[in-house]
């Protein structure tokens, strides 16, 4: 072969090598822009092995850090924009469990080799680039890690002017036992004129709401209250009152079983000063259940672990005083709302009774106005219709005039929205506590103007 032919072949080889390098670089760039995996265990370099020259972004990974075995939870990777780095990509893996697509910001994501990555560079919203995904926890008690990279890119079509940050989040897979304190009505106590004190007992029930087949669990029940300690004594709950020298505050229950604890309440005349015999003094007891032997328990429905019970006291040994104005609201009974299958909502009614307690020296005539309202701010899945004291008239009668010594009743229609309710089983309701308030002219004893109502919702669409 001549020198000229060798020179032509050498030039051709150089051109071919250059073309291959260009194709390889283009292929690498294409692979990165359309998602890249296998970087999650590299905590030092990761995406920065290809991307460089940009400002290092702030990247966060957020979501539940305690989950139940086998549960599915949403996580959010957020890449905060820096200057021209207005787009982003990701590679996220998990040490165990499985990743899938979904959540509030699922667009431009895919699963490759079990990891979450992008399908293209994703545009930010002016503040950050958001990627969401789902993680299914292992069916065992363990501690795992979600980890990987968030890459802030300038969308120039090259790998320059970009930079990435490593991020990780530890997640504990913990026990998920479910206990419920059943709602109970208020306790009304009247002290006779010559009484030194009155003793009452109430029953508080707890339920092991674990699924059938789960092992029995030790359940503890405790109480707190805001009643005056000088005249009200409230015992701790006792599951075995036949042993009077000790309070058995714990009991072992099989799944689905219920047990009853007795609470003893002693009220003396020193407890309150009753303004008159139509308007009770009011305080509140709270009963809380737990699993004392289960470390790190994650109850699937913590809202029903506690329940409140109101204590209303009238002391007839106190002389009745002349009233300018006095309004009282009777304690409301607990309300249960069961949403039927294939229904998106259900409405139930709570009955509220207000009293004009003005009767000395002479009962008010014609009386004074009372306005009734309900505060559902702690119950976003509930709504209430306008409260109407006289349902048979087309207008909404609220406020209403109530004569001295008389009462008026109103049914409060409360609707539960199934789209905002999740219940794990029929024994474990979603619970909230609403406040109903009766407002009249400024009165002498405001502690009885409001009442807490425990509202339990079961959505049968969930099981």
Residue 70: which CATH number?
A: 2.60.40.830
Q: Is there a domain that residue 7 lies in?
A: no
Q: Same domain for 67 and 162?
A: yes
Q: How many CB atoms lie within 10 A of CB 226?
A: 12
- The arrangement of strands across the sheet holding 128-136 comes to 59-62, 72-80, 128-136, 98-101
Dihedrals φ, ψ of 28, to 5°?
-65, -45
Which residue is associated with the tokens 């893996």? 93
Q: Same domain for 208 and 153?
A: no
Average pLDDT per block of 10 residues along the chain, 463 residues long: 41 36 33 75 89 95 91 96 96 97 96 95 96 96 95 92 96 92 97 91 97 92 95 95 85 97 96 89 97 88 96 92 87 98 97 92 84 97 96 93 94 97 92 97 90 97 91
Q: Same domain for 164 and 184?
A: no
pLDDT at 33: 67
Q: Give the separation between CA 205 and CA 181, rounded to whole angstroms.
A: 6
Q: Give the separation between CA 81 and CA 152, rounded to whole angstroms.
A: 7
Q: What letter would DSSP give residue 32?
A: H
Q: Is there a domain that residue 307 lies in?
A: yes
Q: Report the run of H or E that residue 90 belongs to, with start and end.
A: strand 87-94
Q: Same domain for 348 and 240?
A: no
Question: The domain that contains 251 carries what CATH number?
Answer: 2.60.40.10
pLDDT at 12: 37
Q: Give the separation between CA 46 and CA 170, rounded to whole angstroms.
A: 19
SS3 call for 16? helix
Which parts of 79-125 fold into alpha helices (H)? none
Structure tokens at 413: 């229609």
Q: Same domain for 284 and 400?
A: no
Q: Same domain for 116 and 183?
A: no
Q: What letter would DSSP give residue 211?
A: P
Q: Same domain for 162 and 202?
A: no
Which residue is associated with the tokens 């549960």? 71
Q: Is there a domain that residue 450 lies in?
A: yes
Q: Which of 92, 97, 95 is nearest to 36 (CA)?
A: 92
Task: Specify the number of domains making up the chain.
Answer: 3
Q: Same domain for 118 and 224?
A: no
Q: What letter would DSSP give residue 255?
A: T
Q: Is there a domain that residue 281 lies in?
A: yes
pLDDT at 329: 97
Structure tokens at 138: 């292992």
Q: How many CB atoms lie within 10 A of CB 122?
A: 21
Domain stops at, among 125, 150, 173 = 173
pLDDT at 16: 31
Q: Is there a domain that residue 23 lies in?
A: no
Q: Is there a domain that residue 353 lies in?
A: yes
Domain stops at, among 173, 197, 218 = 173
Structure tokens at 302: 């913590």
Q: Give the separation between CA 336 and CA 351, rounded to whole angstroms.
A: 13
Q: Same domain for 357 and 414?
A: yes
pLDDT at 7: 39
Q: Is there a domain that residue 25 lies in?
A: no
Domain stops at, among 292, 321, 350 = 321
Q: Same domain for 195 and 314?
A: yes
Domain residue limits at 450: 322-463
Query: What residues pair up with 414 in beta bridges, in sequence order?
Result: 348, 384
In this structure, are residues 254 and 192 in contact, taking their beta carbons and an 8 Å threshold? no
Q: Is there a domain that residue 37 lies in?
A: yes
SS3 call for 109? strand
Q: Same domain for 350 and 432?
A: yes
Task: Give the list of residues 6+ apart from residue 270 with CB closer than 8 angstroms, or none.
Answer: 230, 231
pLDDT at 131: 98
Q: Same domain for 313 and 326?
A: no
């Amino acid at each position: 072969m001549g020198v000229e032919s060798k020179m032509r072949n050498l030039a051709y080889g150089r051109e071919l090598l250059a073309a291959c390098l260009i194709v390889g670089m283009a292929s690498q760039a294409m692979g990165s822009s359309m998602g890249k995996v296998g970087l999650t265990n590299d905590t030092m370099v990761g995406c920065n092995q290809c991307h460089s020259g940009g400002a290092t972004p702030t990247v966060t990974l957020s979501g539940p850090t305690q989950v139940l075995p086998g549960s599915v939870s949403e996580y959010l990777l957020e890449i905060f924009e820096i200057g021209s780095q207005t787009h982003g990509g990701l590679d996220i893996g998990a040490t165990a469990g499985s990743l899938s697509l979904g959540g509030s910001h699922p667009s431009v994501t895919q699963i490759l080799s079990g990891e979450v990555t992008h399908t293209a560079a994703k545009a930010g919203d002016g503040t950050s680039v958001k990627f969401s995904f789902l993680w299914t926890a292992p069916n065992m008690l363990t501690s795992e890690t979600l980890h990987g990279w968030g890459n802030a890119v300038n969308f120039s079509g090259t790998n320059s002017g970009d930079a990435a940050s490593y991020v990780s989040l530890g997640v504990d897979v913990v026990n998920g036992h479910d206990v419920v304190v059943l709602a109970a009505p208020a306790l009304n106590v009247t002290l006779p004129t010559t009484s030194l004190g009155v003793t009452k007992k109430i029953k508080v029930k707890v339920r092991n709401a674990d699924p059938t087949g789960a092992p029995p669990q030790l359940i503890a029940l405790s109480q707190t209250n805001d009643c005056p300690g000088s005249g009200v004594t409230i015992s701790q709950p006792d599951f075995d009152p036949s042993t009077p020298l000790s309070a058995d505050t714990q009991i072992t229950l099989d799944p689905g079983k219920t047990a009853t604890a007795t609470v003893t309440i002693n009220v003396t005349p020193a407890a309150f000063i009753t303004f008159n015999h139509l308007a009770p003094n009011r305080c509140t007891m709270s009963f809380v259940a737990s699993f004392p032997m289960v470390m790190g328990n994650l109850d699937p429905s913590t809202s029903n672990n506690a329940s409140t019970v109101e204590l209303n006291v009238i002391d007839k040994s106190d002389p009745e005083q002349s009233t300018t104005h006095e309004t009282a609201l009777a304690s409301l009974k607990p309300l249960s709302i069961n949403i039927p299958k294939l229904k998106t909502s259900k409405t139930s009614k709570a009955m509220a009774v207000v009293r004009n307690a003005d009767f000395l020296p002479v009962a008010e005539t014609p009386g004074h106005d009372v306005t009734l309202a309900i505060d559902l701010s702690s119950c976003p899945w509930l709504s209430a219709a306008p409260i109407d004291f006289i349902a048979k008239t087309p207008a909404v009668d609220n406020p209403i005039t109530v004569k001295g010594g008389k009462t008026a009743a109103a049914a409060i229609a409360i609707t539960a929205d199934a789209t905002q309710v999740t219940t794990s089983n029929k024994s474990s309701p979603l619970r909230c506590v609403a406040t109903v308030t009766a407002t009249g002219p400024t009165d002498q004893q405001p502690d009885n103007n409001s009442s807490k109502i425990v509202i339990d919702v079961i959505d049968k669409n969930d099981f």
